[in-house]
């Protein structure tokens, strides 16, 4: 992890640049996968399972028996932890629901807006080096709360053709019954085009590797929506001498272990503190089962000493981190000045991993700087906001002339006529 002391804005920008993926090369691999799944459906999915997951699948759907058997393979402690996390996530996301809005904007002109569930949603759950059963909670709970009628979950099988039992337990706990043994770009293709086993969906959610990410962006051309553009996981920790170096190091490593292309950043006003954190990182790293992955991620990561608080906050907002931990004196004052971040964790006792699992907020967040213009997944992600308007005869008399003048000045005569013909009709009734 490199150390920069009071660097120039140009130096910061260069050293904090995210890892670059060779998009053209990735798309060359992904596009044929999409086409094959569109053309051959389940047959292509089985072929890709053989090729990429090294497993022959007779059926792509998880059976009820597999789900029930999985429950016996999950420890009591883990079951209880998942249930507790579900309750917190459910409570926070349920509180995000908004009542229908009804407003009479002028006499006789009533406007409404209400949330309507997206009818068919697809959830992608990674199952490779880290089977993310927590993501089942983060996506499945708000989908259910929103009232989405059809939910399909895709996740890759292991070489025995099985899904991680914790993923199956969590899906069953939420009430997701359509679970498909398919991963990678082919899963995104299946949910986009539909196959005999995989329903076609309206919106796709979930994290994934660079091939999954590329596939999600490509399939938006076919009329399916996605939760957000995304890249590798990342965290920025802003900490001063009031923070605990061991805590900060642990937070940085918790993201570094996600993948070799993850990026972690420390911003601090103190070079002495930065060196304490780097020492802690080296000590804690040795005890991690995924230390090889974390070590490679740290090679792409940076500690920045920035003595001026205004410059530090400007750097944070420019970087727009997926996860932002603020452990400084007067933390709330800093929080109020943050405008670009996926999710913010405040104080020494708020580890980012709490948000990853159980605090109640959602861990599906914009990465790669997209926090400048995207929000993380929420209840709103699973609904559409439909507006309605109803105008009475008296209301049309008031608003009609406004519309006529505006339409006429935009040279859209038919728009004007749609109002005029009604107003003339009302005048005729008076006679």
Reported as a single tens digit per residue, the pLDDT across 205-215 is 999 888 999 99
Beta strands in 218-353 (DSSP E): 225-226, 234-239, 263-268, 302-305, 323-327, 343-346
Cite the annotated binding site for substrate by residue number: 233, 255, 258, 323, 356, 410, 415
Report the binding-site residues.
Answer: 124, 186, 209, 233, 255, 258, 323, 356, 410, 415
For 96-109, the DSSP string reads T--PPEEEEEETTE
pLDDT of 374 reads: 94
Alpha-carbon span 369 to 379, nearest angstrom: 22
**pLDDT of residue 429 exceeding 70:** no
Read off the pLDDT of each residue in 361-368 and give the average, rounded to a whole number: 95
Place of tokens 């660097």: 7
Enter the DSSP assignment of 50.
I
The overall average pLDDT reported for the chain is 94
- Which residues neighbour 15 within 8 Å (Cβ) at sequence distance 6 or greater? 2, 4, 7, 302, 304
Which structure tokens are listed for 182? Answer: 């398919």
pTM over 0.85: yes
Q: What is the DSSP letter of 204?
A: E
Give the DSSP H/E element, type plus range, for residue 141. helix 133-146
Length of the chain: 431
**Burial (CB count <10 Å: 0-12, 13-18, 19+), residue 134:** buried
Please compute the mean of the pLDDT values over residues 238-246 and round it to a whole number.
97
**pLDDT surpasses 80 at 98:** yes
Whole-angstrom CA distances from 414 to 395, 399, 422, 423 are 20, 17, 13, 14
pLDDT tens digits for 37-95?
999 999 999 999 999 999 999 999 999 999 999 999 999 999 999 999 999 999 999 99
Q: Tell me, what's the pLDDT at 47?
A: 96
Percent of the chain scored above 70 by pLDDT? Answer: 99
Examine the pLDDT at 233 and tell me if it is beyond 80.
Answer: yes
Per-residue pLDDT tens digits for 108-130: 999 999 999 999 999 999 986 67
Checking if the pLDDT of 431 tops 50, the result is no
pLDDT recorded at residue 259: 86
Q: β-pairing, 225-226 with 203-205?
A: parallel
Q: Which residues are catalytic?
A: 322-323
Distance between the two ends of the chain, CA-based, in angstroms? 84
Which pLDDT score, from 0 to 100, does residue 261 have?
Answer: 87
Domains in the chain, please, with CATH?
2-19+232-360 (3.40.50.1980), 23-100+119-227 (3.40.50.1980), 392-430 (no CATH)
| Residue 179 binned pLDDT confidence (cut-offs 50, 70, 90) | very high
CA distance linking residue 52 with residue 356, whole number of Å: 28
What is the structure's pLDDT at 23?
Answer: 83
């Amino acid at each position: 992890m490199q150390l920069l002391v009071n660097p120039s804005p140009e130096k910061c920008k260069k050293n904090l640049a995210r890892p670059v993926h060779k998009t053209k090369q990735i798309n060359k691999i992904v596009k044929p996968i999409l086409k094959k799944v569109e053309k051959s459906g389940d047959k292509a999915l089985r072929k890709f399972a053989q090729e990429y997951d090294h497993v022959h699948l007779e059926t792509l759907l998880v059976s009820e028996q597999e789900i029930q058997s999985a429950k016996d393979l999950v420890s009591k402690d883990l079951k209880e932890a998942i249930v507790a996390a579900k309750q917190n996530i459910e409570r926070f996301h349920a509180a995000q629901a908004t009542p229908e809005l009804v407003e009479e904007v002028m006499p006789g002109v009533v406007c409404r807006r209400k949330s309507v569930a997206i009818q068919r949603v697809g959830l992608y759950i990674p199952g490779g080096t880290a089977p993310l059963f927590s993501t089942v909670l983060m996506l499945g709970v708000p989908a259910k709360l929103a009232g989405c009628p059809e939910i399909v979950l895709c996740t890759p099988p292991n070489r025995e053709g099985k899904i991680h039992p914790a993923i199956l337990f969590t899906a069953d706990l939420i009430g997701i019954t359509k679970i498909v043994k398919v991963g990678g770009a082919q899963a995104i293709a299946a949910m986009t085009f539909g196959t005999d086993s995989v329903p076609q969906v309206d919106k796709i959610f979930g994290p994934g590797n660079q091939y999954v990410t590329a596939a999600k962006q490509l399939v938006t051309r076919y009329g399916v929506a996605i939760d957000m553009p995304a890249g590798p996981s990342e965290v920025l920790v802003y900490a001063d001498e009031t923070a605990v170096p061991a805590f900060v190091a642990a937070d940085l490593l918790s993201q570094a272990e996600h993948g070799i292309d993850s990026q972690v950043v420390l911003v601090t006003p103190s070079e002495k503190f930065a060196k304490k954190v780097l020492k802690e990182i080296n000590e804690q790293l040795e005890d991690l089962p995924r230390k090889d992955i974390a070590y490679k991620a740290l090679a792409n990561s940076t500690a920045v000493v920035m003595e001026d608080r205004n410059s530090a906050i400007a750097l944070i907002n420019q970087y727009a981190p997926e996860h932002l931990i603020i452990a400084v004196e007067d933390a709330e004052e800093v929080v109020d000045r943050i405008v670009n971040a996926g999710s913010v964790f405040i104080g020494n006792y708020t580890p980012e991993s709490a948000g990853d699992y159980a605090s109640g907020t959602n861990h599906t967040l914009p990465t790669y700087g997209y926090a400048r213009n995207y929000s993380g997944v929420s209840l709103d992600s699973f609904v559409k906001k439909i507006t309605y308007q109803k105008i009475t005869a008296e209301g049309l008399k008031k608003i009609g002339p406004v519309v006529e003048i505006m339409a006429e000045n935009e040279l859209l005569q038919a728009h004007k006529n749609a109002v005029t013909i009604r107003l003339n009709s009302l005048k005729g009734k008076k006679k």
